[in-house]
Structure 1
Amino acid sequence: MYTLTVAIQKGGTGKSTTLVGLAEAVHQKGRDVLAIDLDPQANLTRWMLGGPIADKEPDVTTVLDGKVTVGDVVFPTDHGPDLVPTSQHLSLTAQTIGQMTQLQERALNDSLSGYDLILIDTPPYIGSLVFNALSASDSVLIPIQLEGPAITGLKTFGDAIAHVRSEANPDLDILGIFANQLDVRRRTTKDGWKQLKDEYGEYLLSPRLRQRAAISDAATYREPLLENGDDHTRDAFNSLADIVIDRADL
């Protein structure tokens, strides 16, 4: 079982899109995949389940509260991979998480050993939920848009990774940086790509995802991404899946 967190401390960078596309592609290559929504905004939950689960249902919040086990909150999806959903109640639980290893201790246990890959979606800020995800992960995948502020913010996120390594997870690896939502017609995209290569070339992954209307449509209508995307979208995520499978030895 390999655990990969998708994270960066900025909104609108395509974290949920990256996770959905990657999860579907790895699943289509014959691996068992579980997605965990650790973002109180619940975008991943709405996309993969067609809407947030009812308040009376258990989700990842009740796992972290110690009320149920993670096996009680695994839901099948039309995308192929299974999902541990979330709700807005997670934001309250996040304020009470006092240790970086709580997710590892209460959720990522032997009951999930049947999965080859676990993917964790995270909120767009550095805090207890991100620290928990990184502490419980083998590696982190960083999605980014090619804009100056987002690239500059990588330094702060690198500091967060260093903190987790020193305090809880010394083996945490950086799988790489995934550039997405690219508009190749814009000068800022070309300049951003050059800046990213110059400053973080050793971490930059070769697949790049361009802006596609089909991607936003799939998210809006809560449909499987690869099934409704174009050839470029499928090729990008299949290439990313091959990298993950190789690095994780799945």
Structure 2
Amino acid sequence: MDIPRIFSITENAHRIHDPFTPEKLAALGAALKMEPGTRILDLGCGSGEMLCTWAREYGIFGTGIDMSQLFFAQAGRRAEELAVDGRVKFIHDDASGYVAAEKVDVAACLGATWIGGGVAGTIELLARSLRTGGIILIGEPYWLHVPSTEDVARSCRAGSIADFLTLPELLASFGRLEYDVVEMVLADQDSWDRYEAAKWLTMRRWLEANPDDELSNDVRAELTSEPVRYATYTREYLGWGVFALMAR
């Protein structure tokens, strides 16, 4: 069980696998006003930065699920580095369909709503692990402005224009699912740059160290095309945010 190897190559130096900086993650934690002992489930947790830093800063207890072998190992090392390995645990597993054995205070999925077949299905999945009155965190892209053609949408790495909503439409969609939006923290262009542009040096260093790898041509093609593609499309068309929801 693992993610496609190309992502392990391009994001192996990332601590946060979304267009969020440490400052944005800290702002989200502060906005939620969590008490010590808050229990958090994070589906698709990546390298565990959210749970580890919030365990250190706020005294939360957390469980993270991720199918990447690399990110799972990095999460464990990060917990040890921050001396919070007694407060957080990580499970190498497919987060699709995962339900906590005991109800949690916060159930999160940041940037991996494919695990539930989209936003609505992921909210339904998270709700199965959530105590009454708890908070769901959803991290999701949205269109800053809607692409004029499907080709532009695909150049933003979307499958189609219909994959994402505008920000007002996304917020309204939560209401139709009978949830109140009680907080949000949005990425900005700097946090997008830190997520996307940080991959380029990682790819270049990997190519220098692995010239004969079977994926070297793919990584070379990615490095050659990504700066222009990102600046032309993703940076101009896509937003991203984390939205805190409570059931009505």
**TM exceeding 0.5:** no
* Larger gyration radius, structure 1 or structure 2: 2
Task: Specify which structure has the bigger relative contact order, considering alpha-carbon pairs within 8 angstroms and separated by 6 or more residues.
Answer: 1
TM-score, normalisation: structure 2: 0.35
